[in-house]
Structure 1
Amino acid sequence: MKFLLLGILAVLLPLAFLKLCYALGTISVIRRTKGALFVSTSRAKIKAILDELEGQANFRLVDLGCGDGRFLRAVYQRFGIAGEGYEINPWAYFLACLKNRLNGAPVKVYRKNFFKADLSTYDVIFFYLFPDLLLDLAPKLRKEAKPGTIIISANFPLPGFNPYKVLKVEDPIYFYRV
Protein backbone atom coordinates (compact mmCIF):
# COMPACT_ATOMS: atom_id res chain seq x y z
CA MET A 1 0.00 0.00 0.00
CA LYS A 2 2.82 2.36 0.89
CA PHE A 3 4.53 1.77 -2.50
CA LEU A 4 1.29 2.38 -4.36
CA LEU A 5 0.83 5.70 -2.59
CA LEU A 6 4.45 6.68 -3.31
CA GLY A 7 3.98 5.70 -6.96
CA ILE A 8 0.86 7.84 -7.27
CA LEU A 9 2.65 10.80 -5.65
CA ALA A 10 5.65 10.30 -7.95
CA VAL A 11 3.32 10.77 -10.93
CA LEU A 12 1.02 13.47 -9.57
CA LEU A 13 3.62 15.82 -8.09
CA PRO A 14 5.52 16.42 -11.36
CA LEU A 15 2.22 16.87 -13.19
CA ALA A 16 1.06 19.38 -10.59
CA PHE A 17 4.39 21.20 -10.89
CA LEU A 18 4.08 21.41 -14.69
CA LYS A 19 0.53 22.71 -14.40
CA LEU A 20 1.69 25.32 -11.89
CA CYS A 21 4.45 26.43 -14.30
CA TYR A 22 1.89 26.79 -17.10
CA ALA A 23 -0.45 28.80 -14.85
CA LEU A 24 2.29 31.09 -13.54
CA GLY A 25 3.61 31.66 -17.07
CA THR A 26 0.14 32.62 -18.27
CA ILE A 27 -0.56 34.89 -15.32
CA SER A 28 2.77 36.69 -15.76
CA VAL A 29 1.89 37.85 -19.29
CA ILE A 30 -1.92 38.00 -19.28
CA ARG A 31 -2.00 41.81 -19.57
CA ARG A 32 0.39 41.95 -22.51
CA THR A 33 -1.34 39.09 -24.35
CA LYS A 34 -4.80 40.56 -23.72
CA GLY A 35 -5.97 37.23 -22.34
CA ALA A 36 -4.52 35.03 -25.08
CA LEU A 37 -3.36 31.67 -23.81
CA PHE A 38 -0.56 29.42 -25.01
CA VAL A 39 -2.37 27.06 -27.41
CA SER A 40 -0.39 24.87 -29.81
CA THR A 41 -1.23 24.87 -33.50
CA SER A 42 -2.53 21.46 -34.52
CA ARG A 43 -0.45 19.15 -36.69
CA ALA A 44 -3.20 19.18 -39.34
CA LYS A 45 -3.05 22.98 -39.61
CA ILE A 46 0.72 22.98 -39.74
CA LYS A 47 0.72 20.39 -42.54
CA ALA A 48 -1.81 22.41 -44.54
CA ILE A 49 0.25 25.59 -44.16
CA LEU A 50 3.46 23.83 -45.15
CA ASP A 51 1.74 22.28 -48.17
CA GLU A 52 0.67 25.78 -49.22
CA LEU A 53 4.23 27.10 -48.80
CA GLU A 54 5.67 24.23 -50.85
CA GLY A 55 7.56 25.54 -53.86
CA GLN A 56 8.38 28.90 -52.30
CA ALA A 57 11.98 29.93 -52.75
CA ASN A 58 14.22 30.05 -49.70
CA PHE A 59 12.37 32.36 -47.35
CA ARG A 60 12.93 34.11 -44.04
CA LEU A 61 10.22 33.14 -41.54
CA VAL A 62 8.99 34.48 -38.21
CA ASP A 63 6.36 33.05 -35.86
CA LEU A 64 4.80 35.73 -33.65
CA GLY A 65 3.82 34.19 -30.31
CA CYS A 66 5.51 30.91 -31.22
CA GLY A 67 4.47 29.00 -28.09
CA ASP A 68 6.49 25.80 -27.84
CA GLY A 69 8.03 26.34 -31.30
CA ARG A 70 6.09 23.52 -32.96
CA PHE A 71 5.52 25.44 -36.21
CA LEU A 72 9.16 26.57 -36.41
CA ARG A 73 10.40 22.99 -35.99
CA ALA A 74 8.02 21.74 -38.67
CA VAL A 75 9.26 24.38 -41.14
CA TYR A 76 12.84 23.39 -40.39
CA GLN A 77 12.12 19.67 -40.78
CA ARG A 78 10.29 20.16 -44.08
CA PHE A 79 12.25 22.95 -45.78
CA GLY A 80 15.51 23.18 -43.83
CA ILE A 81 14.72 26.80 -42.99
CA ALA A 82 15.69 27.95 -39.51
CA GLY A 83 13.00 30.49 -38.70
CA GLU A 84 12.71 32.80 -35.74
CA GLY A 85 10.02 33.08 -33.11
CA TYR A 86 8.91 35.52 -30.44
CA GLU A 87 7.34 34.35 -27.19
CA ILE A 88 6.79 36.32 -23.99
CA ASN A 89 5.23 33.54 -21.90
CA PRO A 90 8.18 32.19 -19.86
CA TRP A 91 6.82 28.63 -19.72
CA ALA A 92 6.15 28.45 -23.48
CA TYR A 93 9.56 30.02 -24.15
CA PHE A 94 11.25 27.41 -21.95
CA LEU A 95 9.40 24.60 -23.76
CA ALA A 96 10.34 26.02 -27.17
CA CYS A 97 14.03 26.22 -26.28
CA LEU A 98 14.01 22.73 -24.75
CA LYS A 99 12.13 21.06 -27.61
CA ASN A 100 14.21 22.84 -30.26
CA ARG A 101 17.41 21.66 -28.58
CA LEU A 102 16.12 18.09 -28.17
CA ASN A 103 15.01 17.98 -31.82
CA GLY A 104 18.20 19.57 -33.13
CA ALA A 105 16.28 22.42 -34.75
CA PRO A 106 18.54 25.49 -35.06
CA VAL A 107 15.64 27.93 -34.91
CA LYS A 108 15.90 31.04 -32.75
CA VAL A 109 13.29 31.93 -30.17
CA TYR A 110 13.39 35.30 -28.47
CA ARG A 111 11.73 36.00 -25.14
CA LYS A 112 10.66 39.39 -26.34
CA ASN A 113 7.47 41.21 -27.26
CA PHE A 114 7.10 40.99 -31.04
CA PHE A 115 5.54 44.46 -31.12
CA LYS A 116 9.06 45.74 -30.41
CA ALA A 117 10.62 43.65 -33.19
CA ASP A 118 11.39 44.80 -36.72
CA LEU A 119 9.30 42.64 -39.05
CA SER A 120 10.57 44.21 -42.28
CA THR A 121 13.15 41.51 -43.04
CA TYR A 122 10.79 38.51 -43.13
CA ASP A 123 9.27 36.90 -46.22
CA VAL A 124 6.72 34.82 -44.28
CA ILE A 125 5.03 35.98 -41.07
CA PHE A 126 2.95 33.39 -39.20
CA PHE A 127 0.81 33.78 -36.10
CA TYR A 128 -2.02 32.15 -34.16
CA LEU A 129 -3.23 35.12 -32.13
CA PHE A 130 -6.57 36.30 -30.78
CA PRO A 131 -8.58 39.09 -32.48
CA ASP A 132 -7.74 41.73 -29.84
CA LEU A 133 -4.04 41.37 -30.60
CA LEU A 134 -4.70 41.32 -34.34
CA LEU A 135 -6.29 44.78 -34.09
CA ASP A 136 -2.97 46.09 -32.76
CA LEU A 137 -0.83 43.95 -35.08
CA ALA A 138 -2.51 44.93 -38.38
CA PRO A 139 -1.13 48.51 -38.46
CA LYS A 140 2.36 47.25 -37.57
CA LEU A 141 2.25 44.75 -40.44
CA ARG A 142 0.92 47.36 -42.84
CA LYS A 143 3.83 49.63 -41.90
CA GLU A 144 6.68 47.09 -41.69
CA ALA A 145 5.96 44.10 -43.96
CA LYS A 146 7.74 44.45 -47.28
CA PRO A 147 5.98 43.93 -50.62
CA GLY A 148 5.53 40.25 -51.41
CA THR A 149 5.53 39.14 -47.77
CA ILE A 150 3.17 36.25 -47.07
CA ILE A 151 1.20 36.68 -43.85
CA ILE A 152 -0.52 33.63 -42.37
CA SER A 153 -3.11 33.91 -39.60
CA ALA A 154 -4.46 30.77 -37.98
CA ASN A 155 -8.12 30.89 -36.89
CA PHE A 156 -8.82 34.62 -37.09
CA PRO A 157 -8.83 37.11 -39.98
CA LEU A 158 -6.42 40.02 -39.97
CA PRO A 159 -8.42 43.28 -39.81
CA GLY A 160 -8.11 45.46 -42.91
CA PHE A 161 -6.38 42.79 -45.03
CA ASN A 162 -7.97 40.73 -47.81
CA PRO A 163 -6.85 37.09 -47.93
CA TYR A 164 -5.82 35.60 -51.24
CA LYS A 165 -6.61 32.15 -49.86
CA VAL A 166 -8.53 30.69 -46.94
CA LEU A 167 -8.02 27.03 -46.03
CA LYS A 168 -10.53 25.21 -43.85
CA VAL A 169 -8.59 22.86 -41.60
CA GLU A 170 -10.54 22.53 -38.36
CA ASP A 171 -10.78 26.35 -38.32
CA PRO A 172 -9.83 28.77 -41.10
CA ILE A 173 -6.25 29.61 -42.01
CA TYR A 174 -5.93 32.98 -43.75
CA PHE A 175 -3.18 33.72 -46.29
CA TYR A 176 -2.38 37.31 -47.22
CA ARG A 177 0.21 38.84 -49.52
CA VAL A 178 1.48 42.38 -48.95
Structure 2
Amino acid sequence: PKQRCGASKTFALKCVTSAVGVIHVTGYVGSAVNVSCSYDEGYESYEKYLCNNDCGSGDVLITTSNSSKNKYSIHDDKTARIFTTTISDLHSVDAGKYWCGVTITGKDIYTEIELKLVPVQSYEGYSESVSCPYESQYQNSLKYICRGNRPSTCLQQALITSDTKQNGRIYDCA
Protein backbone atom coordinates (compact mmCIF):
# COMPACT_ATOMS: atom_id res chain seq x y z
CA PRO A 1 0.00 0.00 0.00
CA LYS A 2 1.00 3.63 -0.62
CA GLN A 3 1.67 6.02 2.24
CA ARG A 4 1.02 9.75 2.43
CA CYS A 5 2.18 11.89 5.34
CA GLY A 6 1.00 15.30 6.45
CA ALA A 7 -0.30 17.27 9.40
CA SER A 8 -3.37 15.67 10.95
CA LYS A 9 -6.54 17.30 12.22
CA THR A 10 -4.78 17.54 15.59
CA PHE A 11 -1.63 19.11 14.08
CA ALA A 12 0.49 16.00 14.67
CA LEU A 13 2.36 14.28 11.85
CA LYS A 14 0.06 11.71 10.34
CA CYS A 15 0.52 9.15 7.61
CA VAL A 16 -2.31 7.60 5.67
CA THR A 17 -2.18 4.24 3.94
CA SER A 18 -3.88 3.77 0.57
CA ALA A 19 -6.13 0.71 0.55
CA VAL A 20 -7.09 0.72 -3.15
CA GLY A 21 -6.23 2.54 -6.37
CA VAL A 22 -7.61 5.85 -7.59
CA ILE A 23 -11.38 6.20 -7.96
CA HIS A 24 -12.32 8.45 -10.89
CA VAL A 25 -15.49 10.54 -10.48
CA THR A 26 -17.00 12.88 -13.08
CA GLY A 27 -19.40 15.72 -12.26
CA TYR A 28 -21.00 18.63 -14.08
CA VAL A 29 -20.33 22.29 -13.29
CA GLY A 30 -23.30 23.75 -11.41
CA SER A 31 -24.64 20.38 -10.26
CA ALA A 32 -23.80 17.93 -7.46
CA VAL A 33 -21.71 14.76 -7.42
CA ASN A 34 -21.58 11.76 -5.09
CA VAL A 35 -18.22 10.34 -4.05
CA SER A 36 -18.60 6.83 -2.61
CA CYS A 37 -15.87 5.00 -0.73
CA SER A 38 -15.98 1.49 0.68
CA TYR A 39 -14.23 0.26 3.78
CA ASP A 40 -13.49 -3.12 5.35
CA GLU A 41 -15.52 -4.93 7.98
CA GLY A 42 -14.65 -3.79 11.48
CA TYR A 43 -14.49 -0.07 10.68
CA GLU A 44 -18.24 0.61 10.86
CA SER A 45 -18.02 2.69 14.05
CA TYR A 46 -14.92 4.67 13.03
CA GLU A 47 -15.08 8.28 11.83
CA LYS A 48 -14.89 8.75 8.05
CA TYR A 49 -14.01 11.95 6.23
CA LEU A 50 -13.30 13.61 2.88
CA CYS A 51 -10.24 15.81 2.54
CA ASN A 52 -8.02 17.34 -0.12
CA ASN A 53 -4.40 18.46 -0.45
CA ASP A 54 -2.33 16.82 2.34
CA CYS A 55 -5.36 16.08 4.57
CA GLY A 56 -4.06 18.48 7.18
CA SER A 57 -6.32 20.19 9.72
CA GLY A 58 -7.51 22.78 7.19
CA ASP A 59 -7.94 20.20 4.42
CA VAL A 60 -10.72 18.12 6.03
CA LEU A 61 -13.90 19.07 4.18
CA ILE A 62 -16.52 16.93 5.97
CA THR A 63 -16.60 14.18 8.60
CA THR A 64 -19.24 11.67 9.66
CA SER A 65 -19.29 13.32 13.10
CA ASN A 66 -20.40 16.58 11.42
CA SER A 67 -22.50 15.28 8.51
CA SER A 68 -23.31 18.58 6.78
CA LYS A 69 -20.93 21.49 6.22
CA ASN A 70 -21.13 24.20 3.54
CA LYS A 71 -21.48 22.46 0.17
CA TYR A 72 -20.61 19.02 1.57
CA SER A 73 -22.75 16.32 3.17
CA ILE A 74 -21.82 12.78 4.12
CA HIS A 75 -23.71 9.56 4.84
CA ASP A 76 -22.25 6.31 6.19
CA ASP A 77 -24.12 3.14 5.18
CA LYS A 78 -22.68 0.82 7.82
CA THR A 79 -24.52 -2.23 6.45
CA ALA A 80 -23.01 -1.88 2.97
CA ARG A 81 -19.78 -0.43 4.45
CA ILE A 82 -19.82 2.52 2.04
CA PHE A 83 -19.74 6.18 2.96
CA THR A 84 -20.89 8.71 0.40
CA THR A 85 -20.02 12.38 0.30
CA THR A 86 -22.13 14.73 -1.79
CA ILE A 87 -20.43 17.85 -3.14
CA SER A 88 -23.04 20.40 -4.25
CA ASP A 89 -22.85 23.49 -6.46
CA LEU A 90 -19.74 22.32 -8.32
CA HIS A 91 -17.35 24.90 -9.77
CA SER A 92 -14.24 24.39 -11.89
CA VAL A 93 -12.03 24.92 -8.81
CA ASP A 94 -13.58 21.79 -7.25
CA ALA A 95 -11.87 19.53 -9.81
CA GLY A 96 -8.80 17.65 -8.63
CA LYS A 97 -7.59 15.18 -6.04
CA TYR A 98 -9.48 14.25 -2.87
CA TRP A 99 -9.03 11.55 -0.24
CA CYS A 100 -11.65 9.41 1.50
CA GLY A 101 -10.31 8.67 4.96
CA VAL A 102 -11.09 6.41 7.89
CA THR A 103 -9.70 7.71 11.19
CA ILE A 104 -7.85 4.98 13.08
CA THR A 105 -5.01 4.93 15.60
CA GLY A 106 -1.71 5.43 13.82
CA LYS A 107 -2.02 5.50 10.05
CA ASP A 108 -5.42 6.45 8.64
CA ILE A 109 -6.80 4.35 5.81
CA TYR A 110 -7.57 6.38 2.70
CA THR A 111 -8.70 6.07 -0.88
CA GLU A 112 -7.59 8.51 -3.55
CA ILE A 113 -10.34 10.22 -5.55
CA GLU A 114 -9.82 12.12 -8.80
CA LEU A 115 -12.74 14.46 -9.53
CA LYS A 116 -13.11 15.61 -13.14
CA LEU A 117 -15.64 18.32 -13.99
CA VAL A 118 -17.41 18.73 -17.30
CA PRO A 119 -18.76 22.19 -18.23
CA VAL A 120 -22.46 22.35 -19.05
CA GLN A 121 -23.11 24.24 -22.26
CA SER A 122 -26.44 25.64 -23.33
CA TYR A 123 -27.33 26.36 -26.94
CA GLU A 124 -30.35 28.45 -27.89
CA GLY A 125 -32.42 26.64 -30.50
CA TYR A 126 -30.71 23.33 -29.76
CA SER A 127 -32.93 20.26 -29.73
CA GLU A 128 -32.44 16.83 -28.28
CA SER A 129 -33.85 13.52 -29.40
CA VAL A 130 -34.89 10.85 -26.91
CA SER A 131 -35.79 7.33 -28.01
CA CYS A 132 -38.07 5.18 -25.88
CA PRO A 133 -38.53 1.68 -27.29
CA TYR A 134 -41.75 -0.21 -26.59
CA GLU A 135 -43.29 -3.55 -27.46
CA SER A 136 -45.53 -3.91 -30.54
CA GLN A 137 -48.72 -4.44 -28.52
CA TYR A 138 -48.43 -0.79 -27.37
CA GLN A 139 -48.27 0.59 -30.93
CA ASN A 140 -51.63 2.39 -30.61
CA SER A 141 -51.20 3.44 -26.98
CA LEU A 142 -50.64 7.02 -25.91
CA LYS A 143 -46.97 7.97 -25.48
CA TYR A 144 -45.86 10.96 -23.41
CA ILE A 145 -42.90 12.74 -21.85
CA CYS A 146 -43.05 14.53 -18.53
CA ARG A 147 -40.75 16.09 -15.97
CA GLY A 148 -40.39 15.37 -12.29
CA ASN A 149 -40.21 12.35 -10.04
CA ARG A 150 -43.88 11.45 -9.59
CA PRO A 151 -44.90 8.81 -12.13
CA SER A 152 -48.40 8.67 -10.61
CA THR A 153 -49.20 12.24 -11.76
CA CYS A 154 -47.01 12.21 -14.84
CA LEU A 155 -49.75 12.01 -17.48
CA GLN A 156 -51.70 14.98 -16.02
CA GLN A 157 -48.53 17.09 -16.20
CA ALA A 158 -47.18 15.67 -19.47
CA LEU A 159 -45.08 18.11 -21.47
CA ILE A 160 -45.74 16.38 -24.78
CA THR A 161 -48.04 13.50 -25.73
CA SER A 162 -48.27 11.53 -28.96
CA ASP A 163 -51.64 13.16 -29.73
CA THR A 164 -50.50 16.80 -29.33
CA LYS A 165 -49.75 18.91 -32.38
CA GLN A 166 -46.82 21.17 -31.52
CA ASN A 167 -43.14 21.66 -32.24
CA GLY A 168 -41.18 18.90 -30.59
CA ARG A 169 -44.13 16.48 -30.66
CA ILE A 170 -43.59 12.78 -30.18
CA TYR A 171 -43.32 10.91 -33.44
CA ASP A 172 -44.59 7.37 -33.28
CA CYS A 173 -42.11 5.32 -35.31
CA ALA A 174 -44.02 2.03 -35.13
TM-score by length of 1: 0.20
- Report which of the two structures shows the higher radius of gyration computed on alpha carbons: 2
Compare the two structures and name the one with the higher helix fraction. Answer: 1
Bigger relative CO (Cα 8 Å, ≥ 6 apart): 2
